[in-house]
């Protein structure tokens, strides 16, 4: 089975590496730097790290001002605060002028666990992807996190990158290509496609193994950029397999499933089901218990696949 | 003290800017004359006397920055930038029209000279904080100026930003509060008490001075003093009159966000033209 590794630690370490090369990189935190692991950067480059305290709105504005003065800025806190608490600051001060600010959030989704609904978020992708100029990246594991951080810092303009709190299975290799806006093929298959993002990609791979025993060959796609969506891969997969299931640790209302549904609905409709967090708030619990309770298991994906195959 | 000619030149500039403001909002059929007119003298003093600024090169790295946090006073900023030569004066009448670079609230990506896209109140001070930090990181000597509206400081983010500026000892940050005492729904003290303003900023670790925001000597002297302050950001509370320079707009809350009608427009222009003659007469002028 896969090894487990922390995306947050991978993020924190990569920031330090980039900080050595890029003297214009400035990192901002909001009293959660030890959780988001920007503390590594703070330790190495105290003069380029600013703790903004428990004041996220100001942090986003400071990020905008630094970026308007030529800096590349990473602003980091929990996903629920980064996207919800200071939505207007992200929209007005950062995205509208398309400034070079990278909002990197941890503790996304419901796998936050014990903190409960106040600290979980199933809405962050929705909030960010609807803002013009904003791009949304969801690296699948610790290895891809390292590549994604580099990529969003190298690219100009605002980005939102989400990570979970818990360790996640390492399912990619150092040698795999990562490109913003490009999905990656995790498993070939001809009967159905599972397009997944984040922690749900490994769940999809487990589901695919279960389906194989039923004689169903599932293609599994890792959609690590939600916006801009890789519509080429999405359409190719739909044409090849004729049925699609999406899987995400996010609200089914306006996340990956929604982006895929729109793309297919407009260009190549096929039977489709979305696996994700239903239209409800989360609760406290162990992350794996929450995955079961909120319908994010390989079994949930398998039954969605069975449904779409019946509709083919 | 400003020299007699300097004072005359600034007064004439302010008069021209006020005339542009009236023409722009009249022409656009919407906009915010009241808060633009109250801010005018400070903006004129900044761009025509105080700031290091090259109109031919508005992206000059060492320039002083100005962030108009009360973005609805955009007509005043646009008029000042046009008078300064950053873009053609003729373009002012495109304000709020489709396809124009002169958006209802400032857009830094569209119009040269705009340092920050503002309009959603409460955000400009944080942006100015970021610019002041960047100056320090780059070992640059430029100052960052910002202007807040008095109603605007009801926004919680202002106080987050106030804490941040003093915590980081941003002494290259000089902020004006346009204390015109009115907001859309009425007097600030009726809508939401913001007094005692000076005590609040002092308590947040700022150096504070109060001035008459329509007196060029007081404005320029306050900035000279602010530049000598070390280790603290500076708040200059500028007491102003909303609608300053047009008799029927002065202190009139309904001219916060309403343009003059045809008749009012004629009167306003006439008043400003008369003021212009007066400035030139009083100060032994003649252009």
Cα(B205)–Cα(B54) distance, rounded to whole angstroms? Answer: 33
A267 plus A290 within the same structural domain: yes
For B217, phi and psi rounded to 5 degrees? -65, -45
Q: Are B81 and B102 in contact (CB under 8 A)?
A: no
What was the pLDDT predicted at A1? Answer: 85
pLDDT tens for B92-120 read 999 999 999 999 999 999 999 999 999 99
Residues of A with CB under 8 A from a CB of B: 26, 47-48, 50, 52-53, 55, 57-71, 73, 88-89, 91-93, 96-98
Any idea what DSSP says for residue B232?
S
Do the Cβ atoms of B129 and A64 come within 8 Å?
no
CATH code of the domain in which B208 resides: 3.40.50.970
What was the pLDDT predicted at B281? Answer: 86
Task: Say yes or no to pLDDT of B183 above 70.
Answer: yes
Nearest to B150 by CA among B254, B51, B73, B252: B73
| Contacts across the A-B interface (CB distance below 8 Å) | 111
Cα(B131)–Cα(A126) distance, rounded to whole angstroms? Answer: 30
Q: Who among B120, B137, B160 is closest to A88 (CB)?
A: B120
State which residue of chain B sits closest to A52, comparing Cα positions: B164
* Domain stops at, among A169, A199, A217: A169
Q: Are A177 and A184 in contact (CB under 8 A)?
A: yes
Do the Cβ atoms of A70 and B157 come within 8 Å?
no
Task: Tell me, yes or no, whether A175 lies in a domain.
Answer: no
Portion of chain B with pLDDT greater than 70, in percent: 98
Portion 47-66 of B in contact with A at CB < 8 A: 65
Query: A-chain residues within 8 Å CB-CB of B71?
Result: none
Task: Say yes or no to pLDDT of B286 above 60.
Answer: no
Task: Tell me, yes or no, whether B145 lies in a domain.
Answer: yes
Task: Tell me, yes or no, whether B31 lies in a domain.
Answer: yes
Q: Give me the number of domains chain A comprises.
A: 2
Task: Tell me, yes or no, whether B287 lies in a domain.
Answer: no
From first CA to last CA, the distance across chain B in angstroms is: 22
Task: Tell me, yes or no, whether B149 lies in a domain.
Answer: yes
- How close A61 comes to chain B (CA, Å)? 5
Task: Pull the structure tokens for residue A220.
Answer: 């599994």
pLDDT tens digit at each of 312 positions of chain A: 899 999 999 999 999 999 999 999 999 999 999 999 999 999 999 999 999 999 999 999 999 999 999 999 999 999 999 999 999 999 999 999 999 999 999 999 999 999 999 999 999 999 999 999 999 999 999 999 999 999 999 999 999 999 999 999 999 999 999 999 999 999 999 999 999 999 999 999 999 999 999 999 999 999 999 999 999 999 999 999 999 999 999 999 999 999 999 999 999 999 999 999 999 999 999 999 999 999 999 999 999 999 999 999
Per DSSP, the three-state class of A287 is: helix
Task: Tell me, yes or no, whether A178 lies in a domain.
Answer: no
Tokens 């005692």 label which residue? B196
Kindly state the average pLDDT of the residues B37-58.
98
Task: Pull the structure tokens for residue B138.
Answer: 């780059």
Quick count: other Cβ atoms within 10 Å of Cβ A192?
27
A67 plus A147 within the same structural domain: yes
Task: Pull the structure tokens for residue A26.
Answer: 């400035």
- How close B51 comes to chain A (CA, Å)? 17
Do the Cβ atoms of B156 and A57 come within 8 Å?
yes
* Residue B283 banded pLDDT, cuts 50, 70, 90: low
- CA distances in angstroms from B108 to B71, B118, B132, B238, listed in the order given: 11, 9, 18, 26
Do the Cβ atoms of A70 and B134 come within 8 Å?
yes
Task: Tell me, yes or no, whether B33 lies in a domain.
Answer: yes
Nearest to B73 by CA among B148, B128, B12: B148
Interface test with B, best of A28, A31, A52, A65 (most B CBs within 10 A): A65
Cα(A114)–Cα(A136) distance, rounded to whole angstroms? Answer: 26
Task: Tell me, yes or no, whether A174 lies in a domain.
Answer: no
Q: Who among B117, B138, B160 is closest to A97 (CB)?
A: B117
State which residue of chain B sits closest to A46, comparing Cα positions: B137
A152 plus A205 within the same structural domain: no
A201 plus A124 within the same structural domain: no
What is the dihedral angle through the alpha carbons of A160, A163, A169, A175, rounded to the nearest 10 degrees? 40
- How close B156 comes to chain A (CA, Å)? 9
- How close A63 comes to chain B (CA, Å)? 6
On average, the pLDDT of chain B sits at 96
Task: Say yes or no to pLDDT of B171 above 60.
Answer: yes
Interface test with A, best of B58, B122, B126 (most A CBs within 10 A): B126
What was the pLDDT predicted at B284? Answer: 53
Q: Give me the number of domains chain B comprises.
A: 1
A33 plus A150 within the same structural domain: yes
A148 plus A240 within the same structural domain: no
- How close B137 comes to chain A (CA, Å)? 8
Cα(A252)–Cα(A241) distance, rounded to whole angstroms? Answer: 22
Interface test with A, best of B130, B152, B160, B204 (most A CBs within 10 A): B130
pLDDT tens for B201-258 read 999 999 999 999 999 999 999 999 999 999 999 999 999 999 999 999 999 999 999 9
Cα(A119)–Cα(A40) distance, rounded to whole angstroms? Answer: 23
Query: A-chain residues within 8 Å CB-CB of B127?
Result: 61-62, 64-65, 68, 93
Cα(B61)–Cα(B143) distance, rounded to whole angstroms? Answer: 12
Domain with A193 in it: 184-311
A242 plus A277 within the same structural domain: yes
Q: Who among B107, B123, B137 is closest to A89 (CB)?
A: B123
Task: Say yes or no to pLDDT of B287 above 50.
Answer: no
What was the pLDDT predicted at B182? Answer: 97
Do the Cβ atoms of B134 and A61 come within 8 Å?
no
* Residue B285 banded pLDDT, cuts 50, 70, 90: very low
Query: ipTM above 0.90?
Result: yes
């Amino acid at each position: 089975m896969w090894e487990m590794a922390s995306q947050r630690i991978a993020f924190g370490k990569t920031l330090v590496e980039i900080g050595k090369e890029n003297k214009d990189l400035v990192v901002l935190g909001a009293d959660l730097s030890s959780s988001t692991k920007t503390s590594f950067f703070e330790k190495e480059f105290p003069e380029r790290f600013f703790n903004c305290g428990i004041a996220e709105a100001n942090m986003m504005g400071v990020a905008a001002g630094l970026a308007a003065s030529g800096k590349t800025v990473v602003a980091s806190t929990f996903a629920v605060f980064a996207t919800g608490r200071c939505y207007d600051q992200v929209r007005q001060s950062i995205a509208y002028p398309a400034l070079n600010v990278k909002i990197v959030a941890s503790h996304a989704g419901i796998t936050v666990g014990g903190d409960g609904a106040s600290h979980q978020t199933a809405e962050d992708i929705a909030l960010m992807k609807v803002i013009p100029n904003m791009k949304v990246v969801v690296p699948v594991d610790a290895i891809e996190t390292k590549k994604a951080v580099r990529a969003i810092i190298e690219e100009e303009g605002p980005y939102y990158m989400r990570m979970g709190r818990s360790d996640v299975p390492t399912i990619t290799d150092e040698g795999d290509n990562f490109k913003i806006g490009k999905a990656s093929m995790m498993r070939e298959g001809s009967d159905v496609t599972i397009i997944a993002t984040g922690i749900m990609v490994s769940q999809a791979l487990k589901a695919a193994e279960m389906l194989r025993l039923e004689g169903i060959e599932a293609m599994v796609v890792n959609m690590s950029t939600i916006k801009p969506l890789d519509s080429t891969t999405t359409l190719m997969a739909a044409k090849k397999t004729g049925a699609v299931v999406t899987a995400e640790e996010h609200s089914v209302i306006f996340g990956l499933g929604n982006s895929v549904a729109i793309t297919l609905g407009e260009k190549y409709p096929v039977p489709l089901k979305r696996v994700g967090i239903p239209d409800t708030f989360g609760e406290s619990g162990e992350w794996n218990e929450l995955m079961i309770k909120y319908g994010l298991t390989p079994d949930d994906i398998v039954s969605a696949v069975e449904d779409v195959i019946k509709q083919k | 003290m400003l020299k007699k000619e300097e004072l005359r030149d600034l007064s004439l500039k302010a008069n021209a800017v006020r005339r542009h403001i009236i023409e722009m909002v009249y022409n656009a059929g919407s906009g915010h004359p009241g808060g633009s007119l109250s801010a005018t003298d400070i903006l004129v003093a900044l761009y025509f006397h105080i700031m290091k600024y090259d109109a031919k090169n508005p992206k000059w790295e060492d320039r002083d920055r100005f962030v108009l946090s009360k973005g609805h006073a955009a007509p005043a900023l646009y008029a000042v930038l046009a008078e300064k030569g950053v873009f053609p004066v003729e373009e002012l009448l495109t304000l709020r029209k489709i396809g124009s670079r002169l958006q209802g609230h400032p857009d830094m990506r569209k119009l040269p000279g705009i340092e920050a896209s503002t309009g959603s109140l409460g955000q400009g001070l944080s942006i100015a904080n970021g610019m002041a930090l960047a100056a320090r990181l780059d070992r640059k000597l430029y100052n960052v100026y910002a202007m807040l509206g008095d109603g605007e400081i009801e926004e919680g983010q202002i106080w987050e930003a106030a804490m941040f500026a003093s915590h980081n000892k941003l002494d290259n940050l000089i902020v004006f509060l346009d204390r015109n005492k009115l907001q859309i729904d009425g007097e600030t003290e009726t809508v939401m008490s913001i007094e005692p303003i000076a005590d609040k900023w002092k308590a947040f670790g700022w150096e504070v001075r109060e001035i008459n925001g329509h007196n060029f000597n007081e404005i320029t002297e306050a900035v000279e003093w602010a530049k000598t302050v070390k280790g603290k950001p500076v708040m200059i509370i500028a007491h102003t009159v909303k609608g300053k320079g047009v008799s029927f707009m002065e202190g009139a809350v309904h001219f916060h966000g309403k343009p003059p009608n045809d008749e009012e427009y004629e009167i306003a222009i006439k008043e400003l033209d008369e003021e212009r003659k007066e400035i030139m007469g009083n100060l032994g002028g003649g252009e």
